[in-house]
Structure 1
């Protein structure tokens, strides 16, 4: 009987288990069927609200379920301005350009030819005709009358007859083997075709069926685009700047003017006597060309992003950028252009066109986007434009701290209306260092836009700024004359600046010599000096009186020049072309010679030791370099004695005594040249990227690495085994972390280390202490007593911060790997985000012998790129921003030494930064925005909303329902209603949801999500009164 009962009990249990499994399978299949149905929203309606702070919406469509999530976000990207579109998702290739003439838009697609589009109703553009067979890869186009002139990047010029918009036909072409980019068409029957390094091709198209070549405009660097007015051509020549040509005799064009812009010039538009330029560094530049031989700079407007295209229509200018959308600028007063609006397309804005009321954007992957200008100008989100990239934020009650890329650190007082009132600035001394020279205990630095900076080297390991002078231009090089009492600066377009530095704390400008082009290098010998103009001239000056150099002679070279050296009486000059130029300084006008280098060789840097010249160059083979060694002792021309192939793209070389240093990317290579023609590599060390120069600290064993990443000291006591040593620099250049601690503010600067500032009674900031590091910094973790600082070389420094006025290094731990980004610390355990290698757990109880306890590989599908970028500890869990794989949740086991994956959440974009605030997780994702995730049930994180951002976000935090973002041009405050909501599903086609009313007026997106599917309705709701739930909202739905 007992056996029978046991068998019966086992049978019942087994039957129950089978029923449970069957139910689970049925529920899973049912849920899968629900989640697999497409999610569609066809209409939105506002219903009477259940309360003053509630907004009730009814959504109609299909695919709704109890798991459908709905949220509102402020339309910070101004996508509500987009009122029409013509998607190209089903068409291969990239949409490169759009041009508008009357009621027609003409689209150039890199692989799908030219489309003619009817825009008589801009909200509903329709394709009328397509011509594909005549093209290989269209890039740009211009339309004049019944003809469209198309630049095909892989073919040449194609001319279309578009008189019948439904049947555009190719009627003429000019085939060229060189790549083609922008073009311009003249009413005089001339087409100008930009061809990169080949310059600009001039074609006579008076007979469109038989275009013919009649001339060419030379390029200094890379001709991207060209504009034409009357008989004048304006060429955007990348680093060569703007070049203006007279075409009255097109067979023999004359160069009238050349204007370097310091950055990469990509686009040019001319309107009567005004020229508008899109420059990578300076943004929008406006020139007066009423006298084309002497263009005058009228104004500049800094705009975030790399300019791709410009168009002007009346007083409105559209400025298309690579990743930061399209900026709308009022140019009614060309001396004071004003940004009046923007639109952020989904991907990259490749081209733009304007009409009276609409903006047409060529979005690289999403097709033609049509925006209403009145809406583009009416973005209502609160944005504090600070004119600079904000890299970090910290909050201390009503005080907000902002780290600025070019303006140092600022503190603001917030008032009730969210207005930021500046309370104090801890100014940036300098950012990128381009050159340096040493005299006694003083270091003189050329720091680009930050001018001449002077640092005191008297205290071991400490560099404190004691003087500076910003006299205009861009400081590229500095040399010292008169035993260190005179500094001469090559200041780009501002020419030569002569500065009295006899009293380093009070440098004084005593002479300026302009009109020499774009000066980027200087070389001094007894009684003379050479100044290098990047746009093709070498100027020789008499410095018998060092306080007032006099121009002696100038030599023009057909090249973009990079550097020069002197041996005996001969100057050796290199440029972008494959030549080495020789100039005898005794007879410079008649002595020019040149040595041809191998085809495809591009010189980068040169140096001389004894009778040998070392020339570093890029090779014709991609991603390789070569070191060329010339013997200068023989009579006549330099004799090539050795050619050494080098891997990678080397940037520069420097020679000290019998040691040559090469810098490829982030590695310093050391070569012994005791045998000049047989150099041998003796060492290589990682130093991080951005280094521009290597200078000597007097006659000692210390060198300085100078560059975009600041200043670092290199100990070369053993020339074959240099090592980086700790340096403290009194400078804040790139803030990557801020932590407010009462009256103290901890500042982590990428290049200059850890700083402590204190706040005075007025809210200003004063320096208290600084701790430097050998390498550039990546991240940090701060607790009550210590700051753990991670550098680019994989070294973790533990800093005691209990006495802010005297920071103490407690330990240094070498973790042995450089590919680290995120950092979290608990007790003696360190958790690191190691990219594609996953998550690492380290025990650092013994700093001299850290132990790697676990390296957790990320188990995600092959189609997803899992890459641990950042992480944060929450109770007994580790949350990881995991690249394309979204969010990973790991449980801590064995006292935190082991990790187990217990949850995940797929999210759009590439997740790379993560922060936690109360029960919410904020995850910044490239090309998606900012994800807000509810982690109250931490093993089952729930997506709340994705906030689309208009630019790259560097830092962020929540305060109530306000989301503060640091962006490219300032600080944004977004109203984000995240309170609890109620919803009811009425079948699969109706959903009623109660949402909290946002606290701030503006245009709002509606985000609807179910599982991996989501629908975004940009700018569908407009809140016109801050606290009105009824009557204050109007819904506008644009059917897709």
Structure 2
């Protein structure tokens, strides 16, 4: 997008084509024009002179940049789809169909069980919590959105086929023949005719007195898992009017049921597995049970084995060859919260709320082994950008390393699971330090980005929410414990060497010039002197109007993401006496912030990403926004802006407008036309020149520094006019 320059002149007259400044004789002139063009940014000026004249003295013009309003332009995303917790799984052929809350139906190809890969997905619009297959159709229990019917005839190309609006929130679904049985909690069940998938019709319904959580259908009977009353049995001889014929009150909270032979196997939450003889549906009776260590929420039966998903205790394998005396054979810790299991040959597919899909080999029932898996979850909460690599704190998915050299196609090159939920990350040299809330921090060797190596972990007081690195030390935002300083000189054995508590909750930290700046819920901004890292000194604070959650520091200003109070600008030229100089509210809750030049980017939670012009710190001005996605964190360099977009992963936006300024220094016949170039330190720009504004020729390339770079064009010859521009490479 083109931007306009505003020019302030030392002396001169206004010309029709821009600002023309004239000095002494009216014939020689310097004419300036401006152009900012995406993706390359141009800063241009032109020179008019007659070779037989000499400009006496130097004429200076100050070129500023007036930024036009613009919205951030999204260039690429990783992984390219919304993620979420895996709630249920079924399989057919070598495809697994996973109900992923917030993402809908996801299809994984596990022809190679060691590396399941996602081949397609379809947003269902609701909260997918269960899936059942009916020929070439999948029936997805989609919460308040009802029952979604999806054509899966081509697993790589899912197509919506129909939808049935349930009377309650669809939580579970089973399919049998041409019917779907939908469990709807306190709204009971509905029986739906799917003989025409595009036009599903209700056949009948049953209203329980409790809260229905699961269902199994065998023959003419439906077996219901009722949280409140245990097992209920319905006669389906007349599906338009299902009739309750029997039941059994379990000791726990029945959440799932499967029927095999004469027995119903009930996952009874805190009471484990219950085995009930249903050979006489009118008088079911309990014959045995096994109290699992966790909360049994689902069960599948294969031969003489019951596979029970046990919540945080993973998978439990129980021998049911003697229903009166079931015995645990073994189990597998899924490292999350196991919710569903689907036996498939010698494999078991497990849907885990936090860890996604697990593929287990069960050749040895007592020792199920993990063959492969696929992480459906992830909640990008923070991002650090170093070179062309983005280091993403991805919640339950751990640390992700994403190559962003091609903004339109970010590629994951490596990653590592973390012990806790990754909330923030900082990178220096060959180390990445990940903040993991109550699970402390973990240190990773990232010298090989494709295979990060965990070096160590460290528990600290409080919740580790953010981290910044300086020298061999890490400064950690430790929640109620304030600021914690960790010595990383030996990454394999980090040591807490210092810290200081505050009166609030420190959730973010940044470092500049020997000072640590903490985002503190009570204090707002807290400034710490790190002259002695073992004894950080709290030297100043500024109480922001909201709750400071994160911050960025640049020059003499700190920019605070102040939750409900939006963006706050604080002058820290005197660290002992920070002064609030400006602020602007945001539509949402500001949770992350980064600054580049005179632009500040704010991650505003559910309200998305907002860009502010802070060239006047007293009056920040919003110049753009993108509210399509929720944002949790943001980072930037001169090439791109990266946003941690929660379930949507990493997003790559166009960078801030780079302000490149060309200034005339003077002209002489001996030295030619002299000019200076200013811009961000380290930025490489190509100088070009033209005689007609149409054909541009490369002149030279310069790297900008802390001070203006001066160049001379001695090859002016007898040209009547020459134009110059600088292109950001």
TM bucket (normalised to shorter chain) is 0.5 to 0.7
Q: Which residue of 2 aligns with 1:591?
A: 243
- 1: distance between equivalents of 2:260 and 2:435? 39
User: By how many angstroms is 1:522 displaced?
Assistant: 1.3
Deviations 1:303-339 (A, max 9, x none): xxxxxxxxxxxxxxxxxxxxxxxxxxxxxxxxxxxxx
Alpha-carbon distance change, 929 to 456 in structure 1, aligned in 2, over 3 angstroms: farther
Q: Which residue of 2 aligns with 1:476?
A: 129
Selected match of 1:555 from 206, 215, 228: 206
Q: Which residue of 1 aligns with 2:267?
A: 616
- 2: distance between equivalents of 1:418 and 1:486? 48
More helix by share: 1
Selected match of 2:186 from 512, 527, 535: 535
Selected match of 2:103 from 427, 447, 450: 450
Q: Which residue of 2 aligns with 1:886?
A: 482
Q: Which residue of 1 aligns with 2:573?
A: 979
Two-structure CA RMSD over aligned residues (Å): 4.6
Q: Which residue of 2 aligns with 1:176?
A: none
Whether contact under 8 Å (1:786, 1:800) holds in the other structure is yes
Deviations 1:270-320 (A, max 9, x none): xxxxxxxxxxxxxxxxxxxxxxxxxxxxxxxxxxxxxxxxxxxxxxxxxxx
Whether contact under 8 Å (2:185, 2:212) holds in the other structure is yes
Deviations 1:403-445 (A, max 9, x none): xxxxxxxxxxx99589762333414332122222222233322
Whether contact under 8 Å (1:787, 1:801) holds in the other structure is no
Question: Runs of 5+ in structure 2 lacking a partner?
Answer: 1-39, 42-64, 587-614, 620-729
- 1: distance between equivalents of 2:329 and 2:509? 42
Whether contact under 8 Å (2:522, 2:547) holds in the other structure is no
Deviations 1:909-958 (A, max 9, x none): 355665544423244556765643232343242242255585694x6433
- Correspondences of 1:297-376 after superposition (within 5 Å): none
Deviations 1:431-461 (A, max 9, x none): 1222222222333222234222223334554
Q: Which residue of 1 aligns with 2:552?
A: 957
- 2: distance between equivalents of 1:718 and 1:556? 42
Q: Which residue of 2 aligns with 1:767?
A: 411
Whether contact under 8 Å (1:753, 1:770) holds in the other structure is no
Deviations 1:177-230 (A, max 9, x none): xxxxxxxxxxxxxxxxxxxxxxxxxxxxxxxxxxxxxxxxxxxxxxxxxxxxxx
- Correspondences of 1:981-996 after superposition (within 5 Å): none
Whether contact under 8 Å (2:213, 2:256) holds in the other structure is yes
- The answer to whether the aligner puts 1:674 opposite 2:321 as a matched pair is yes
Selected match of 1:834 from 452, 455, 459: 459
User: By how many angstroms is 1:562 displaced?
Assistant: 0.9
Deviations 1:631-690 (A, max 9, x none): 122463210123555566544444444133241435443333232221222335543344
Selected match of 2:451 from 779, 796, 808: 808
Selected match of 1:941 from 537, 551, 574: 537
Query: SS of 1:907's equivalent?
Result: coil
Query: SS of 1:472's equivalent?
Result: coil
Whether contact under 8 Å (2:220, 2:236) holds in the other structure is yes
- Correspondences of 1:100-139 after superposition (within 5 Å): none
Q: Which residue of 1 aligns with 2:662?
A: none
Deviations 1:771-818 (A, max 9, x none): 57598764766444565779999997966565x6xx236x5x6xxxxx
- 2: distance between equivalents of 1:613 and 1:937? 67
Query: SS of 1:493's equivalent?
Result: coil
- 2: distance between equivalents of 1:893 and 1:515? 60
User: By how many angstroms is 1:879 displaced?
Assistant: 4.8
- Correspondences of 1:446-845 after superposition (within 5 Å): 446-459=99-112, 461-482=114-135, 485-544=136-195, 549-588=200-239, 589=241, 591-595=243-247, 597=249, 601-617=252-268, 625-634=271-280, 636-645=282-291, 649-657=295-303, 658-665=305-312, 667-696=314-343, 698-725=344-371, 727=373, 733-752=378-397, 755-759=400-404, 763-767=407-411, 769-771=413-415, 778=422, 782-785=427-430, 802=448, 807-808=450-451, 811=453, 830=456, 832-835=457-460
Whether contact under 8 Å (2:309, 2:341) holds in the other structure is no
Whether contact under 8 Å (1:886, 1:905) holds in the other structure is yes
- 2: distance between equivalents of 1:952 and 1:719? 52
Whether contact under 8 Å (2:248, 2:284) holds in the other structure is no
- 1: distance between equivalents of 2:555 and 2:96? 48
- 2: distance between equivalents of 1:690 and 1:518? 22
Whether contact under 8 Å (1:476, 1:520) holds in the other structure is yes
Question: Runs of 5+ in structure 1 lacking a partner?
Answer: 1-396, 399-413, 619-623, 814-824, 837-865, 983-993, 1004-1024, 1030-1040
- 2: distance between equivalents of 1:638 and 1:947? 66
- 1: distance between equivalents of 2:278 and 2:548? 51
- 2: distance between equivalents of 1:867 and 1:546? 50
Alpha-carbon distance change, 965 to 734 in structure 1, aligned in 2, over 3 angstroms: farther
Deviations 1:1014-1037 (A, max 9, x none): xxxxxxxxxxx95789xxxxxxxx
Query: SS of 2:86's equivalent?
Result: coil
User: By how many angstroms is 1:594 displaced?
Assistant: 4.3
Whether contact under 8 Å (2:90, 2:96) holds in the other structure is yes
Alpha-carbon distance change, 684 to 500 in structure 1, aligned in 2, over 3 angstroms: closer
Q: Which residue of 1 aligns with 2:707?
A: none
Whether contact under 8 Å (1:659, 1:719) holds in the other structure is no
Alpha-carbon distance change, 420 to 719 in structure 1, aligned in 2, over 3 angstroms: farther
Query: SS of 2:255's equivalent?
Result: strand
User: By how many angstroms is 1:583 displaced?
Assistant: 0.7
Whether contact under 8 Å (2:144, 2:169) holds in the other structure is yes
Deviations 1:144-198 (A, max 9, x none): xxxxxxxxxxxxxxxxxxxxxxxxxxxxxxxxxxxxxxxxxxxxxxxxxxxxxxx
- 2: distance between equivalents of 1:472 and 1:886? 41
- 2: distance between equivalents of 1:893 and 1:424? 38
Whether contact under 8 Å (2:561, 2:567) holds in the other structure is no
- Correspondences of 1:50-65 after superposition (within 5 Å): none
Query: SS of 2:73's equivalent?
Result: strand
Whether contact under 8 Å (2:361, 2:370) holds in the other structure is yes
Alpha-carbon distance change, 633 to 966 in structure 1, aligned in 2, over 3 angstroms: farther
Whether contact under 8 Å (1:833, 1:870) holds in the other structure is no
Alpha-carbon distance change, 1002 to 595 in structure 1, aligned in 2, over 3 angstroms: closer
User: By how many angstroms is 1:727 displaced?
Assistant: 3.9
772-781 or 609-618, which deviates more: 772-781
Query: SS of 1:979's equivalent?
Result: coil
- 1: distance between equivalents of 2:548 and 2:137? 43
- 2: distance between equivalents of 1:460 and 1:907? 50
Whether contact under 8 Å (1:574, 1:581) holds in the other structure is yes
Q: Which residue of 2 aligns with 1:998?
A: 581
Query: SS of 2:271's equivalent?
Result: strand
Alpha-carbon distance change, 732 to 474 in structure 1, aligned in 2, over 3 angstroms: closer
Deviations 1:372-393 (A, max 9, x none): xxxxxxxxxxxxxxxxxxxxxx
Q: Which residue of 1 aligns with 2:605?
A: none
- 1: distance between equivalents of 2:325 and 2:199? 43
- 2: distance between equivalents of 1:708 and 1:895? 28
Alpha-carbon distance change, 886 to 876 in structure 1, aligned in 2, over 3 angstroms: same
Alpha-carbon distance change, 738 to 459 in structure 1, aligned in 2, over 3 angstroms: farther
Deviations 1:992-1012 (A, max 9, x none): xx7656255789xxxxxxxxx
Alpha-carbon distance change, 952 to 493 in structure 1, aligned in 2, over 3 angstroms: farther
Residue-pair matches, total: 523
User: By how many angstroms is 1:530 displaced?
Assistant: 1.5
Alpha-carbon distance change, 606 to 769 in structure 1, aligned in 2, over 3 angstroms: same
- 1: distance between equivalents of 2:154 and 2:484? 59
- The answer to whether the aligner puts 1:436 opposite 2:436 as a matched pair is no
